[in-house]
Amino acid sequence: MLSASPAVSPRVRLLLWVAVVWTFCLLMLGAWVRLHDAGLGCPDWPGCYGHLTVPEAPHEIAKASAQFGGTVEPAKGWKEMIHRYAAGGLGLLVLALTVALLRKRTPHSAPVWLVLAPPLVILLQALLGMWTVTLKLMPVVVTAHLMGGMSMLALLTALAARSTLAPMALPAETRSVAWLALALVAVQIVLGGWVSTNYAGLACDGFPACRGSFAPAPGLLDALRPDRALGLTADGNPLTIDHLAAIHWLHRCGALLVTLLVLALVLRLWRDARPFALALLAALVLQVALGVANVELSLPLPLAVAHNGGAALLLLTLITLLARLRRPKEIHGYANAGRAFALR
């Protein structure tokens, strides 16, 4: 297949997709840490109880407990620190890729903003990781941290697809539906993050009804307010099961809209881009099945983590499709660039 960026070396192409896979795994790891209730396994940042590793010796634990207060749990601390080490490694890889791509730019390379965006998101993610700890898992901060990870996945996928995959053309109406599907999936990921960071995954028993009703539980607006701490309303009162059920109910409504729109996109892609149609359909079916299974099986940890991965997979598929789209004139220009590069 014709490369969209002939100047990109095979090694850089490989590392771009390594970065995509690394980010996907990091998202899964972050979900695993959060669902293990290990997000505060280290009460400080970037180290853990003032160390680059987790204190485990009895005298280290005693000192950490005296200095930071509370119970020191090395198992939770290691979960959090492994996540931080993995994030740091991704940051170094993204920095190296940014330098390599900026040095080898051509008129048909990815735009400068797309090359520079990933390291900027890495910096923002570091700040959000720090605030997640210092603000005691405040839902809006943790959700923003999740969205930062998903944004990193989207940016790196777009960068890898533009730099390594051949461009393609689709009818204007299909492109519009694809962009709308991406916007709706992004909103749904935010809603899913809000469910997860408020620990509302079990608030709705039964499916498809939520607690025996299709109507929203009371307190939805209070539950959606960003200016509140974990487990509390903005007024400082404890969240009730109604608040949590309202959050979960909204996420289910979003899932229904995403399902309908992605199915409409699949039908449009069936003739012109059948591999993408099949990939989108598979990702959608997997994600819906995982969502239902999490409710029916009371949110087992492996399925809960996999549900985060399903959302990332659906996002990755849509971004890969959209990153390859070009107008016919642009595709002709890329083809000429590829032939010229091959003759050098």
Catalytic residues: 80
Handedness of CA 275, 320, 259, 244 (dihedral sign): positive
Q: Which residue in the block uniquely carries the two structure tokens 């570091």?
A: 126
What are the beta bridge partners of residue 51? Answer: 48
Rounded-to-10 torsion of CA 296, 298, 301, 306: 30
Question: For residue 84, which of 138, 141, 28, 26 has the smallest C-alpha distance?
Answer: 26
Report the Cα–Cα distance between both ends of the chain, in Å, rounded. 18
Q: Which residue in the block uniquely carries the two structure tokens 């608030």?
A: 203
Question: For residue 291, which of 266, 312, 310 has the smallest C-alpha distance?
Answer: 310
Q: Which residue in the block uniquely carries the two structure tokens 């699949």?
A: 266
Structural tokens at position 116? 């520079």
Distance CA 250, CA 248 (A): 5
Distance CA 68, CA 49 (A): 7
Q: Where are any strands of DSSP class E within the chain?
A: none
Handedness of CA 29, 35, 38, 43 (dihedral sign): positive
- C-alpha pair distances (Å), 256 with each of 75, 247, 288, 339: 38, 15, 9, 45
